Amino acid sequence: MKEKSQNFFAYSLLLIQPIFMASNLVVARGGVEYVPPISLAFWRWISVVLILLPFTAPLLIKNFQTIKKEFKQLFFLGAMGCGVCGAFPFLAGETTTITNMGIIYTSSPVFIIIISYFFFNEKINSLRFVGLVSCLIGVFAIIIKGDFNLLVNLKFTVGDLWMLGAAIGWALYSIYLFYWKTELAIFQRFTLVALFGAFSLMPFYLIEQFIFETTKFNSDFFVWVIFAAISPGIIAFTLYTMAQKKLGASITGFTLYIFTVYGAVYGYFLFDEEFEFYHLIGTILVFFGVFLAKRNNEKKT
């Protein structure tokens, strides 16, 4: 009974976590109007550290030897999950469309499965493959608005390369978060990942600050940075880690597809974007794909 309840909670996170992760789209659309992109990413992770440190500092001091042992892993996770995935989407938004960003970012679960298959011998069976295809079709249905002419006429820019980098970065973060075991508790580890993520961004933040665009530390800055730190930051990353610990990197990667669906919902309620029939079809296909992935995992266990 306890095992069943734990499995139910883990699978429910596949639906709950993207609610907070997709709020990053709200930041990308609204926050970058007031805060330069790298500055927003940098101060977001600094804020995460400042929020968590009062609760984790005593334990981090106690586990200093463990931190020394896991330093390279923690820095890599920070650079990928918080550095690359923190700044690249904001940079992409300056030169590409939301449509292109959505298409490219949903390639991340594909990279997760491929890398897991070649480097960690994780099997890809027919049920998981069908679930993956169903999710992809659902996402594309939403992105191209049910009109295949839009897919043919998509134009790609340098911003799309930023998004491709973000997709690969998230895949690497997801895989190594799962396969690199740690002696640190979730919040201790995440505090350090956020800290090293901020360190990886610092040189680029300074270049942006002194050469390209100066950050204005006003009320808009603090509202967007704190929101980005808490919702798509602390909450989304913590729930992702909890789900991945139970379900593995490939299954948890399916949250990226649900993320796209929730992004459409945010667009409807916050940015006056219309909710069309193709949104419904795409949503059904995405959730069907996640259901197949769940069934596949249950059969394995």
d(CA 21, CA 256): 9
- CA-nearest of 115, 95, 119, 117 to 107 is 115
pLDDT in tens, 165-210: 888 899 899 999 989 999 999 999 999 999 999 999 999 999 999 9
Whether the model clears a pTM of 0.75, i.e. scores above it, the answer is yes
Note the pLDDT of residue 79: 96
Note the pLDDT of residue 80: 96
Note the pLDDT of residue 24: 83
**What b-and-e string marks burial along 218-233, b requiring 16 or more CB atoms within 10 Å of the CB?**
eeebeebbbbbbbbbb
Note the pLDDT of residue 299: 54
Residue 7: other Cβ atoms inside 10 A: 16
Which ranges of the chain have pLDDT less than 50?
Answer: none
Note the pLDDT of residue 89: 84
Q: Is 182 helix (H, G, I), strand (E, B) or coil?
A: coil
